[in-house]
A and B are shown apart, each in its own frame.
Chain A
């Protein structure tokens, strides 16, 4: 192992980190909104909406992300005239937006199941208690159901964010020069696969370490009821001294 070379590699790979983070967070942000809609469709009680959401999750969770990226990028590239007519080509022309779209659609499928699990785990008593206090509809959802569901879903959702950071490495196959893309390029220039991939792995590890800490901090902040109340020091009485 040549540590001077690894340090140099580390610095070159760092230039790919902004794109990696950009892809991960843009798609997680869009994906969360979409996942919320899917989960609410699934739980709406309207059979058509539930079936559509279920079919969507089945398709996007059941096929590899690599295949989805290929289909969206190279597959839709074949339908350029039609897409141009609809004014969508400006969007699909760019590899960046194709990558974001594929990652978003994929994460929405997984995340909608996580959110559904969270929503369904809200204890019935809590909802009934809220109803007894006169809450209903959106107020009930906002004040009672949603906060409890988020608390339940957060650990699984943290894993999903980490999975998305790692999934961005697939964007290198559609010419996006994120960390893995730059790593592959460096290997072609130096032929030192081991050192370069070790460093690339390390960068992902650091990013994901930071993400796990942030998710843990949010979990801690959201669950004060699980923490020991601050111990009340018994007041020392003068007589006992």
Chain B
């Protein structure tokens, strides 16, 4: 009996000790897609890797919390956040008005323009504006002109895009009557259909397109046309959280500001995207 009592007390003590530690160090569950290289993807060993995985670990260290990063399919990523399966989303998700209706966002931690990926020998490789970038919010006239300039070349073409993204919203809003839009579950799938010739072009973030170009079978893919920012394409990539989680937003905001200030975001984005994706103030 005594032995049991001692054992029980021991258990109680260790449980208390654990509880005490948890109170000091909150565990934050972060969801990512795991199929959006180089933002986040599943490496050859089955481990999650990418810009956001590195950044999440850095931010968690700054926030002094324990982080658990998990993979979640993109099209259910917001409903599952609302269902409290995890506390935050870091999955290349742009801040948009539509998403702000249902969830909250931190300050943006990265921002890249969005544009076209086509094969080198395609007539679309000559889409006007290659190498330039325009913001629909700051310069709507120039953006409109750039889109109009694409239309003659794009007419009747089939375009692949990942569904439920700012990219698919951009196509729906500006080019719905010009191109045939095919929606894919992941960017990897529309990449495959671009090489197979089932689609004439893909529309995605420049960071994702650059990562695709790195793969040997996509060495003939080129990024063309004016790079687009703003409007439905969002105001930069940020951490998504539930609206009632104000405390978490505050600590993420502080950590992101610090990471931008000391150049961590620049360093990590240059490592993964080969470009500086630090959001412009």
Q: Closest residue of chain B to A78, judged by CB?
A: B196
Per the 8 Å Cβ criterion, residues 146-187 of A in contact with B are: 173, 175, 177, 181, 184-185, 187
The answer for the CA separation of A173 and B183 in the assembled complex, in Å, is 9
With both chains docked as a complex, state the minimum distance between the C-beta of B91 and any C-beta of chain A, in angstroms: 13
Contact A74 B192 (CB under 8 A): yes
* Contact yes or no, A93 B79, CB < 8 A: no
Given contacts A191-B102, A193-B79, contact A185 B183 (CB under 8 A): yes
CB distance from A30 to the nearest CB of B (A): 22
Across the interface, name the chain A residue whose C-beta is closest to B193.
Answer: A77
Q: Across the A-B interface, how many residue pairs have beta carbons closer than 8 Å?
A: 46
Residues from chain B with a CB closer than 8 A to the CB of A125 are none
- Contact B185 A187, beta carbon cutoff 8 Å: no
Q: Is B98 an interface residue (CB 8 A)?
A: yes
Please name all residues of chain B whose beta carbon is closer than 8 Å to the beta carbon of A184 when the two chains form the complex: 75, 163-164
**Cβ-based interface call for B85 (8 A):** no
The number of chain B residues with a CB under 8 A from chain A is: 21
Asked whether A143 is an interface residue with its Cβ less than 8 Å from the other chain, the reply is no
Tell me how far the C-beta of B215 lies from the nearest C-beta in chain A, rounded to whole angstroms.
13
Which residues of B are found within 8 Å of A213, using beta-carbon distances? none
From A80, A173, A187, give the contact of B79 (CB < 8 A).
A187
| Pairwise interchain contact B198-A191, C-beta atoms closer than 8 A | no
Q: Which residue of B lies closest to A181 (CB)?
A: B183
A63 within 8 A of B: no
Q: Select B197's contact among A80, A173, A192, beta carbons within 8 Å.
A: A80
A77, B196: Cα distance in complex, Å: 5
A191 to B99, CA, bound (A): 9
Docked-complex contact A77 and B198, CB < 8 angstroms? yes
**Shortest Cβ distance from residue B275 to the other chain A in the assembled complex, whole angstroms:** 28
Contact size range, A: 10 to 19
A175 touches B82 (CB 8 A): no
Interface residues of B in 145-200 (CB under 8 A from A): 160, 163-164, 182-185, 189, 192-193, 195-198
Which residue from B82, B182, B185, B192 sits with its C-beta under 8 Å from A191?
A: B82
Task: Let me know if B88 is at the binding interface, CB within 8 A.
Answer: no
21 contacts between A and B (CB under 8 A): A74-B192, A74-B196, A77-B192, A77-B196, A78-B192, A80-B197, A93-B197, A93-B198, A95-B182, A95-B198, A175-B183, A181-B183, A184-B75, A184-B163, A185-B163, A185-B164, A185-B183, A187-B79, A187-B164, A188-B75, A193-B79
Chain A residues proximal to chain B, CB less than 8 Å = 74, 77-78, 80, 93, 95, 173, 175, 177, 181, 184-185, 187-189, 191-193
The 8 closest A-B pairs by CB, nearest first: A188-B164, A77-B196, A193-B79, A175-B182, A191-B102, A191-B78, A74-B192, A184-B75
Extra contacts, 20 of them, besides A188-B163, A192-B79 (Cβ < 8 A), are A74-B192, A74-B193, A74-B196, A77-B193, A77-B195, A78-B192, A78-B196, A80-B196, A80-B197, A93-B197, A175-B160, A175-B184, A181-B183, A184-B163, A185-B183, A187-B76, A187-B79, A188-B75, A189-B164, A191-B79
Q: List B residues at the A interface (Cβ < 8 Å).
A: 75-76, 78-79, 82, 98, 102, 160, 163-164, 182-185, 189, 192-193, 195-198
